[in-house]
């Protein structure tokens, strides 16, 4: 991911957490439901992301569902949404050095 791609105008955000019980990476999907796959993650305009994040965070913490809840940047590659940073790509897929493990293996 180059710096140029990352600063693309109109980039979207997705919201993520680790599930408290097992630590698995989850994403906020449609209708406030948490999903395990980035492909099902809801995308939010930059301007909306803060409010959605605050509400999701409050709810997930109150329900002891998730920890480390935050929003991250999403861009498009060949028409498909992908996380903008290497860190989030690795979280959505799994370790690059063990492609047999993590979500990418499923």
Partner 1 sequence: MNHIAPGARAGIYHYDEIDRRFVAERVEQFRKQVDRRLSGELTEEEFKPIRLMNGLYLQLHAYMLRIAVPYGVMSATQLRKLSEIGRVYDKGYGHFTTRQNLQYNWIKLEDTPAILNALAEVDMHALQTSGNCVRNVTTDPFVGAAKDEVVDGRVYAEILRQWTTMHPEFTYLPRKFKIAISGAASDRAAVRIHDVGLLARRNDQGEAGFSFYVGGGLGRSPFVGKLVRDWVAEEDFLAYLEAILRVYNQYGRRDNIYKARIKILVHELGLETFTAEVEEEFARLRGPKYRLDKGIVEGIRHHFAPPPFEELPDHSEALERAKASDPAFANWLAVNVAEHKAPGYAIATISLKPAGGIPGDATCDQMDLVADLAERYSFGELRVTHVQNLVLAHVKKDELYDLWKQLDAAELGSANAGLIGDIIACPGLDYCALANARSIPLAQAISARFADPVRQRTIGELGIKISGCINACGHHHVGAIGILGVDKKGTEYYQITVGGDATLTTAIGDILGPSVTETEAVDAIEAIVDVYLANRSDEGERFVDTLRRVGHAPFKERIYAAD
Angstrom CA distances, 100 to 18, 76, 104, 106, stand at 21, 25, 7, 9
The correct pick among 61, 76, 81, 82 for binding partner 1 (CB under 8 A) is: 61
What DSSP string runs through 36-84?
S-GGGB--EEHHHHHHHHHHHHHHHHHTT-EEEEEEEEEEEETTEEEES
Q: Which is nearer to partner 1, 9 or 30 (CB)?
A: 9
Q: What is the nearest approach in angstroms of partner 1 to the Cβ of residue 27?
A: 14
One character per residue 8-37, x = contact with partner 1 (rule: CB under 8 A): ----------x-xxxxxx------------
3-class secondary structure, 30: helix
Q: Which two tokens stand for residue 71?
A: 């929003």
Q: Which is nearer to partner 1, 44 or 72 (CB)?
A: 72
Binding residues for partner 1 (CB under 8 A):
1-3, 5-6, 18, 20-25, 61-62, 64, 67-68, 84-87, 90-91, 94-98, 101-102
């Amino acid at each position: 991911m180059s710096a140029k791609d990352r600063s693309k105008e109109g980039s979207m955000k997705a919201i993520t957490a680790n599930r408290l019980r097992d630590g698995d990476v989850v994403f906020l999907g449609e209708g406030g439901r948490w999903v395990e796959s980035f492909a099902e993650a809801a995308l939010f305009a930059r301007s909306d992301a803060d409010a959605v994040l605050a509400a999701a965070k409050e709810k997930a913490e109150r329900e002891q569902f998730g920890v480390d809840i935050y929003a991250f940047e999403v861009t498009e590659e060949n028409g498909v949404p992908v996380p903008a940073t290497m860190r989030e790509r690795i979280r959505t897929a799994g370790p690059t050095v063990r492609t047999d493990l993590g979500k990418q293996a499923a």
